[in-house]
Amino acid sequence: MLSASINHKERIGLGMSLRVLFADDHDMVRDTFRMYLETNGTAQAITAGSLDEALKLMRQKGPFDLVLLDYTMPGMKGLEGLKLALAASGGNPVGIISGTGTRLIAQQALDMGAAGFLPKSMPAKTLVNAVKFMAMGEVYAPVDFMSGKDDPDQTDFEKDLSDREKQVLRGLLGAKSNKEIAIGLDLQEVTIKLHVKTLCRKIGAKNRTEAAIMARDAGFV
Protein backbone atom coordinates (compact mmCIF):
# COMPACT_ATOMS: atom_id res chain seq x y z
CA MET A 1 0.00 0.00 0.00
CA LEU A 2 2.84 2.34 0.84
CA SER A 3 4.45 2.11 -2.61
CA ALA A 4 1.17 3.00 -4.30
CA SER A 5 0.59 6.08 -2.17
CA ILE A 6 3.90 7.89 -2.59
CA ASN A 7 5.37 9.69 -5.58
CA HIS A 8 8.50 8.89 -7.57
CA LYS A 9 10.71 11.37 -5.69
CA GLU A 10 9.75 9.84 -2.37
CA ARG A 11 10.48 6.36 -3.70
CA ILE A 12 14.09 7.33 -4.33
CA GLY A 13 14.37 9.07 -1.00
CA LEU A 14 13.19 5.90 0.77
CA GLY A 15 15.50 3.72 -1.30
CA MET A 16 12.56 1.99 -2.97
CA SER A 17 12.52 0.53 -6.46
CA LEU A 18 11.12 2.80 -9.18
CA ARG A 19 8.43 1.73 -11.64
CA VAL A 20 9.77 2.45 -15.12
CA LEU A 21 8.04 1.85 -18.44
CA PHE A 22 10.56 1.32 -21.24
CA ALA A 23 9.31 1.13 -24.83
CA ASP A 24 11.50 -0.05 -27.72
CA ASP A 25 10.77 -2.26 -30.72
CA HIS A 26 13.93 -4.38 -30.35
CA ASP A 27 13.70 -7.35 -27.98
CA MET A 28 17.40 -7.33 -27.15
CA VAL A 29 17.39 -3.63 -26.29
CA ARG A 30 14.38 -4.09 -23.98
CA ASP A 31 15.96 -7.09 -22.26
CA THR A 32 19.28 -5.29 -21.81
CA PHE A 33 17.62 -2.18 -20.40
CA ARG A 34 15.57 -4.26 -17.96
CA MET A 35 18.72 -6.05 -16.83
CA TYR A 36 20.53 -2.75 -16.23
CA LEU A 37 17.77 -1.41 -14.01
CA GLU A 38 16.73 -4.54 -12.17
CA THR A 39 20.19 -5.98 -11.42
CA ASN A 40 20.88 -3.51 -8.60
CA GLY A 41 17.27 -2.98 -7.59
CA THR A 42 17.04 0.50 -9.12
CA ALA A 43 13.71 -0.12 -10.78
CA GLN A 44 11.04 -2.52 -11.82
CA ALA A 45 11.11 -2.22 -15.61
CA ILE A 46 7.92 -2.89 -17.54
CA THR A 47 8.47 -2.98 -21.29
CA ALA A 48 6.53 -2.33 -24.49
CA GLY A 49 7.33 -2.79 -28.17
CA SER A 50 5.47 0.16 -29.66
CA LEU A 51 3.96 3.51 -28.73
CA ASP A 52 0.43 2.09 -28.81
CA GLU A 53 1.42 -0.66 -26.39
CA ALA A 54 3.15 1.87 -24.15
CA LEU A 55 0.10 4.14 -24.03
CA LYS A 56 -2.10 1.15 -23.23
CA LEU A 57 0.17 0.19 -20.32
CA MET A 58 0.17 3.78 -19.09
CA ARG A 59 -3.63 3.68 -18.94
CA GLN A 60 -3.86 0.23 -17.37
CA LYS A 61 -0.85 0.12 -15.03
CA GLY A 62 0.21 3.74 -14.61
CA PRO A 63 1.20 6.16 -13.47
CA PHE A 64 4.86 5.19 -13.82
CA ASP A 65 7.70 7.00 -12.10
CA LEU A 66 9.31 7.37 -15.52
CA VAL A 67 8.37 6.51 -19.09
CA LEU A 68 11.23 6.16 -21.57
CA LEU A 69 10.40 5.95 -25.29
CA ASP A 70 12.55 4.93 -28.26
CA TYR A 71 12.45 7.76 -30.79
CA THR A 72 12.10 5.55 -33.88
CA MET A 73 9.85 2.71 -32.70
CA PRO A 74 6.49 2.06 -34.42
CA GLY A 75 3.87 4.69 -33.75
CA MET A 76 6.17 7.48 -32.64
CA LYS A 77 6.00 9.58 -35.83
CA GLY A 78 8.92 11.64 -34.69
CA LEU A 79 8.09 13.62 -31.57
CA GLU A 80 4.32 13.26 -31.95
CA GLY A 81 4.59 10.16 -29.77
CA LEU A 82 6.28 12.17 -27.04
CA LYS A 83 3.39 14.62 -27.05
CA LEU A 84 0.87 11.78 -26.61
CA ALA A 85 2.87 10.15 -23.83
CA LEU A 86 3.27 13.44 -21.95
CA ALA A 87 -0.50 13.91 -22.08
CA ALA A 88 -1.03 10.40 -20.69
CA SER A 89 1.69 10.41 -18.03
CA GLY A 90 -0.26 12.16 -15.29
CA GLY A 91 2.44 14.76 -15.00
CA ASN A 92 5.20 12.22 -14.38
CA PRO A 93 8.46 12.34 -16.38
CA VAL A 94 8.70 11.07 -19.95
CA GLY A 95 12.08 10.79 -21.67
CA ILE A 96 13.39 9.82 -25.09
CA ILE A 97 16.11 7.29 -25.89
CA SER A 98 17.59 7.01 -29.39
CA GLY A 99 20.40 5.51 -31.39
CA THR A 100 19.97 7.90 -34.32
CA GLY A 101 18.58 11.18 -33.00
CA THR A 102 20.53 14.39 -33.53
CA ARG A 103 21.15 17.26 -31.14
CA LEU A 104 18.40 19.18 -32.92
CA ILE A 105 15.88 16.44 -32.18
CA ALA A 106 17.12 16.21 -28.59
CA GLN A 107 16.65 19.94 -28.08
CA GLN A 108 13.18 19.83 -29.64
CA ALA A 109 12.23 17.00 -27.29
CA LEU A 110 13.47 18.92 -24.26
CA ASP A 111 11.64 22.05 -25.40
CA MET A 112 8.43 20.00 -25.61
CA GLY A 113 8.81 18.93 -21.99
CA ALA A 114 10.79 15.69 -22.20
CA ALA A 115 12.58 14.73 -18.99
CA GLY A 116 15.67 13.83 -20.95
CA PHE A 117 17.24 12.55 -24.15
CA LEU A 118 19.49 9.49 -23.84
CA PRO A 119 21.75 8.17 -26.64
CA LYS A 120 21.72 4.36 -26.73
CA SER A 121 25.51 4.42 -26.69
CA MET A 122 25.50 5.47 -23.02
CA PRO A 123 27.33 3.17 -20.57
CA ALA A 124 25.06 1.12 -18.33
CA LYS A 125 26.01 2.94 -15.12
CA THR A 126 25.40 6.33 -16.71
CA LEU A 127 22.04 5.20 -18.05
CA VAL A 128 20.93 3.99 -14.61
CA ASN A 129 21.97 7.30 -13.04
CA ALA A 130 20.11 9.19 -15.78
CA VAL A 131 16.94 7.24 -14.98
CA LYS A 132 17.25 8.24 -11.33
CA PHE A 133 17.80 11.91 -12.23
CA MET A 134 14.77 12.00 -14.52
CA ALA A 135 12.56 10.22 -12.00
CA MET A 136 13.54 12.89 -9.45
CA GLY A 137 12.24 15.55 -11.80
CA GLU A 138 15.58 16.63 -13.20
CA VAL A 139 16.17 17.14 -16.92
CA TYR A 140 18.96 14.93 -18.24
CA ALA A 141 20.89 15.15 -21.51
CA PRO A 142 24.59 14.25 -21.83
CA VAL A 143 26.72 17.39 -22.02
CA ASP A 144 29.07 15.92 -24.64
CA PHE A 145 26.14 14.92 -26.83
CA MET A 146 24.40 18.28 -26.59
CA SER A 147 27.64 20.22 -27.13
CA GLY A 148 28.51 18.20 -30.24
CA LYS A 149 31.60 16.48 -28.86
CA ASP A 150 30.09 13.01 -29.16
CA ASP A 151 27.48 13.47 -31.84
CA PRO A 152 27.68 15.06 -35.32
CA ASP A 153 24.92 17.12 -36.85
CA GLN A 154 23.95 14.25 -39.12
CA THR A 155 22.43 10.95 -38.01
CA ASP A 156 23.86 7.48 -38.67
CA PHE A 157 20.94 7.09 -41.05
CA GLU A 158 22.27 9.72 -43.46
CA LYS A 159 26.03 9.45 -43.08
CA ASP A 160 26.49 7.31 -46.23
CA LEU A 161 24.32 9.53 -48.43
CA SER A 162 25.80 12.09 -50.79
CA ASP A 163 24.68 15.71 -50.60
CA ARG A 164 22.63 15.21 -53.78
CA GLU A 165 20.95 12.10 -52.38
CA LYS A 166 20.04 14.07 -49.26
CA GLN A 167 18.47 16.75 -51.44
CA VAL A 168 16.45 14.13 -53.26
CA LEU A 169 15.41 12.52 -49.99
CA ARG A 170 14.14 15.86 -48.73
CA GLY A 171 12.03 16.00 -51.86
CA LEU A 172 10.60 12.57 -51.05
CA LEU A 173 9.82 13.78 -47.53
CA GLY A 174 7.92 16.64 -49.12
CA ALA A 175 5.88 14.14 -51.16
CA LYS A 176 7.26 15.59 -54.40
CA SER A 177 7.33 13.63 -57.66
CA ASN A 178 10.58 12.88 -59.45
CA LYS A 179 9.71 15.57 -61.98
CA GLU A 180 9.13 18.17 -59.25
CA ILE A 181 12.39 17.28 -57.55
CA ALA A 182 14.21 17.46 -60.87
CA ILE A 183 12.86 20.92 -61.60
CA GLY A 184 13.78 22.14 -58.13
CA LEU A 185 17.35 20.87 -58.45
CA ASP A 186 17.71 21.76 -62.14
CA LEU A 187 18.40 18.14 -63.08
CA GLN A 188 16.98 15.61 -65.52
CA GLU A 189 14.14 13.44 -64.24
CA VAL A 190 16.09 10.30 -65.14
CA THR A 191 18.90 11.50 -62.88
CA ILE A 192 16.47 11.83 -59.96
CA LYS A 193 15.21 8.29 -60.61
CA LEU A 194 18.79 7.03 -60.38
CA HIS A 195 19.38 8.91 -57.12
CA VAL A 196 16.15 7.52 -55.65
CA LYS A 197 17.21 4.00 -56.56
CA THR A 198 20.68 4.49 -55.09
CA LEU A 199 19.56 6.05 -51.82
CA CYS A 200 16.88 3.38 -51.35
CA ARG A 201 19.59 0.74 -51.66
CA LYS A 202 21.84 2.54 -49.18
CA ILE A 203 19.22 2.88 -46.46
CA GLY A 204 17.50 -0.45 -47.13
CA ALA A 205 14.18 0.95 -48.34
CA LYS A 206 11.98 -1.02 -50.76
CA ASN A 207 10.64 2.08 -52.50
CA ARG A 208 10.43 5.88 -52.33
CA THR A 209 7.50 5.83 -49.88
CA GLU A 210 9.33 3.58 -47.45
CA ALA A 211 12.45 5.74 -47.85
CA ALA A 212 10.46 8.82 -46.81
CA ILE A 213 8.97 7.03 -43.81
CA MET A 214 12.38 5.77 -42.69
CA ALA A 215 13.88 9.23 -43.09
CA ARG A 216 11.10 10.84 -41.04
CA ASP A 217 11.36 8.25 -38.25
CA ALA A 218 15.16 8.67 -38.12
CA GLY A 219 14.79 12.41 -37.64
CA PHE A 220 16.25 13.35 -41.01
CA VAL A 221 15.59 17.00 -41.83
Looking at the structure, do residues 160 and 136 belong to the same domain, yes or no? no
Distances (CA, A) of 213 to 40, 50, 206: 39, 16, 11
Same domain, 8 and 73: yes
* Structural domain ending residue among the three candidates 147, 174, 198: 147
Task: Write the pLDDT tens digit of every residue in 61-110.
Answer: 988 999 999 998 889 988 999 999 999 998 999 999 988 777 888 889 99
Q: Are residues 15 and 94 in the same domain?
A: yes
Which pLDDT score is estimated for 4?
45
Residue 47 has pLDDT above 90, yes or no: yes
Q: Which residue has the higher pLDDT, 126 or 155?
A: 126
Domain that holds residue 195: 156-217
pLDDT reading at 6 higher than 70:
no
Closest CA to 43 of 132, 125, 116, 126: 132
pLDDT band at 41 (very low <50, low <70, confident <90, very high): confident
- How many domains is the chain built from? 2
Q: Give pTM, 2 decimals.
A: 0.65
- Burial class of residue 174 (count of CB atoms within 10 Å of its CB; 0-12, 13-18, 19+): exposed
Average pLDDT, stretch 187-210? 87
Is residue 135 domain-shared with residue 199, that is, in the same domain?
no
Least confident of 14-18, 112-116, 140-144, 215-219: 14-18
Pairwise CA distance, residues 197 & 151, whole Å: 28
